[in-house]
Amino acid sequence: MEEKKKKRLIDKIIMGAIIGGAIGSVLGATMAPKELAGSAKEKTKSLFYKVVRLIKRDKDLDKKIPTEK
| pLDDT per position as a tens digit, 21-52 | 999 888 887 777 765 456 777 777 888 888 88
Q: 11 lies in which domain range?
A: 2-64
Could you give the number of structural domains in the chain? 1
Is residue 27 a part of any domain in this protein?
Answer: yes
Mean pLDDT of the chain: 79
pLDDT at 67: 64
Contacts of 46 (CB under 8 A, 6+ apart): 34
Is residue 69 a part of any domain in this protein?
Answer: no
- Rounded to whole angstroms, how far apart are CA atoms 26 and 51? 7
pLDDT at 38: 61
Predicted structure pTM score: 0.44
